[in-house]
Homo-oligomer: A and B are copies of this chain.
Amino acid sequence: MADTSVSTRAERSARTRAAILEAARQVFAERGFEKATIRTVAERAGCDPSLVMQHFGNKQKLFEAASQVNLDVAEVSAGPADELSERLVRGVFERMDARPDAIASTLRSMLTHDASAKEVLKLFNLLPGIGQEDEQPDEQQALRGRLIGALTLGTAVTRYVLKFAEVEQASVDDLVECLQPAIEALLTPPNGQPISGQPTRQP
């Protein structure tokens, strides 16, 4: 039983799988879905290209496994409404910071790869749900929600993909400080009170 002296087959397989996944995250993050190649992933993982296929089936499935990121915006949105904009920014960027390669993979590919675009859209559809509880959702309110998403998306793209120094090196606190008033402004229609917040609810 010499083959169990260091590690079992299952252990070796699991380690290979993890190496592939990590390599995939890097390559997809750097090059996006289309320009990333199975060969490059395999090379960086130190294994054969065919092994990658064996573990993950095809390129698309590998991508899905590698770019998995748990934003769970429901969790982010929970809490007192008057701190919503701060929690939103903090929650989103803390979660993205935890897996920069995974989010970069999705973001980098979103404009040229349908599956990634849909993934981003899912995030979008969570974000602007805020503040649409009681008031009738008129057109401008929907637009405002989308623009909050646009600001978030633009910031994420410049931070994780384009890597503009100022945005990349900023702390989450910095981002919160700068973005929070802007999001408040987007939440507030010209006429008066913010569309979210709890002005209609008395203690």
Contacts and interface: CB of A to CB of B under 8 A. Distances in A.
Given A142-B166, A185-B185, A190-B177, A155 B161 contact: no
Nearest to A121: B162
Contact of A166 (B111, B143, B185): B143
A153 to B, nearest CB: 4
Interface in A78-126: 107-112, 117, 120-121, 124
A147 interface: yes
Contact of A188 (B31, B147, B181): B181
A111 B149 contact: no
A120 to B, nearest CB: 8
Given A146-B166, A146-B167, A177-B190, 16 more contacts: A32-B111, A32-B112, A34-B35, A34-B112, A107-B111, A110-B111, A111-B161, A111-B162, A143-B166, A143-B178, A144-B178, A149-B158, A150-B151, A154-B155, A178-B186, A185-B185
A184 interface: yes
B142 A149 contact: no
Interface residues of A, number: 49
Contacts of A124: 164
A111 B167 CA distance: 16
A146 B143 CA distance: 22
A147 B186 CA distance: 14
